[in-house]
């Protein structure tokens, strides 16, 4: 699998944390250097968290892509991530980020493939109007991070028809730790397969967002869970979601 699009549909269930963890898990020496692309139209926040400029990054890559006939060289615009892999940083200003995402979206999965590595594209909170939809339409898989409480699952179900219009059957869920409903119940309620559960691991989250690599992070439950999820995916990206009749979940 080359390119995974990752998003949420409500609140902040930890999509960016999951994207960082996926990049770190892929960069443990068993694969070519992976890349994390901040493609959130609402603006990126990793540059501020890491204390680095957002350029070169998504905006400068988009500017180069606007010149007809010019090759898009992602490596010229990415920077190393301390926790492993590389990152293409987005500007924090929504108008700038949205414009860059709109320019690059249709081509990002192909550019990641051409770079010779693997990539995860953080599409932020998804809505039918999101310019990141073009990434999700061409990525090998879209992984939706969901807090599996009643509100989170109900909101996901309301978005599913529009989401499936974009990604078809290339859709799986990742549940955040501490969710009150188990994966099987979420699958029955949504008709979408659950790839795995992202555990609560405050120390690992702090290391990821603080731009630190450490033995603690490498051995953390968060990275172990993410490695397991990535290993569950077939090389071709074929793990179709199960489609089942949606049923109401019991209210807590």
**pLDDT, tens only, 61-100:** 998 887 766 667 788 899 988 888 899 999 999 999 999 9
CB atoms within 10 A of CB 216: 14
Residues 32 and 161: their CA atoms lie apart, in Å, by 35
By the 8 A CB rule, do 18 and 124 touch?
no
Classify 189 as helix, strand or coil.
Answer: helix
The stretch 104-112 carries a mean pLDDT of 86
Kindly tell me if the per-residue pLDDT of 252 is higher than 50. Answer: no
What are the C-alpha distances in Å from 194 to residues 31, 71, 156, 171, 244?
A: 24, 37, 13, 9, 13
pLDDT in tens, 221-242: 999 999 999 988 855 444 444 4
Kindly tell me if the per-residue pLDDT of 249 is higher than 60. Answer: no
pLDDT value at residue 190: 95
By the 8 A CB rule, do 21 and 226 touch?
yes
Of residues 174 and 2, more confidently modeled: 174
By the 8 A CB rule, do 119 and 2 touch?
yes
Confidence of residue 250 (pLDDT cuts 50, 70, 90): very low
Residue 95, judged by CB atoms within 10 A of its CB (0-12, 13-18, 19+), counts as exposed
Kindly tell me if the per-residue pLDDT of 189 is higher than 70. Answer: yes
The stretch 7-14 carries a mean pLDDT of 83
> Which pairs count as long-range contacts for 73-77, CB under 8 Å and 24+ apart, including other chains?
74/35, 74/111, 74/112, 74/115, 75/115
Helices (H), the chain: 15-26, 46-50, 58-65, 94-104, 108-114, 133-138, 150-167, 183-190, 202-209, 215-218, 221-232
Give me the domains of the chain, ranges plus CATH numbers. 3-232 (3.40.50.300)
Kindly tell me if the per-residue pLDDT of 246 is higher than 50. Answer: no
By the 8 A CB rule, do 156 and 10 touch?
yes
Of residues 132 and 216, more confidently modeled: 132
Confidence of residue 143 (pLDDT cuts 50, 70, 90): very high
The stretch 152-178 carries a mean pLDDT of 93
Kindly tell me if the per-residue pLDDT of 173 is higher than 60. Answer: yes
Percent of the chain residues topping a pLDDT of 70: 86
Arithmetic mean of pLDDT over the chain: 84
Residues 176 and 17: their CA atoms lie apart, in Å, by 10
Of residues 24 and 117, more confidently modeled: 24
Percent of the chain residues topping a pLDDT of 90: 49
Residues 216 and 186: their CA atoms lie apart, in Å, by 31
pLDDT in tens, 17-69: 999 999 888 886 555 589 999 999 999 989 988 888 899 999 999 988 877 66
pLDDT value at residue 112: 85
pLDDT value at residue 241: 44
């Amino acid at each position: 699998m080359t390119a995974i699009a990752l998003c949420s549909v409500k609140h902040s269930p930890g999509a960016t944390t999951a994207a960082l963890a996926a990049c770190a898990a892929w960069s443990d020496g068993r694969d070519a250097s992976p890349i994390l692309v901040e493609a959130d139209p609402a603006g990126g926040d990793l540059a501020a968290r890491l204390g680095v400029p957002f350029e070169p990054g998504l905006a400068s890559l988009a500017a180069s892509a606007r010149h007809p006939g010019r090759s898009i060289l992602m490596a010229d615009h990415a920077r190393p991530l301390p926790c492993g892999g590389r990152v293409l940083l987005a500007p924090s200003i929504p108008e700038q980020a949205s414009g860059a995402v709109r320019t690059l979206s249709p081509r990002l999965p192909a550019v990641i493939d051409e770079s010779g590595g693997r990539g995860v594209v953080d599409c932020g909170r998804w809505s039918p109007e999101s310019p990141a939809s073009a990434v999700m339409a061409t990525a090998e898989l879209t992984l939706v991070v969901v807090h599996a409480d009643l509100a989170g699952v109900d909101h996901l179900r309301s978005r599913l028809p529009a989401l499936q219009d974009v990604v078809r059957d290339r859709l799986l869920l990742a549940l955040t730790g501490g969710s009150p409903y188990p994966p099987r119940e979420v699958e029955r309620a949504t008709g979408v397969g659950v790839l795995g559960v992202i555990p609560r691991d405050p120390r690992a989250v702090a290391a990821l967002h603080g731009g630190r690599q450490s033995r603690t992070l490498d051995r953390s439950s968060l990275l172990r869970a993410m490695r397991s999820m990535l290993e569950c995916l077939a090389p071709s990206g074929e793990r179709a979601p199960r489609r089942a009749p949606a049923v109401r979940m019991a209210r807590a």
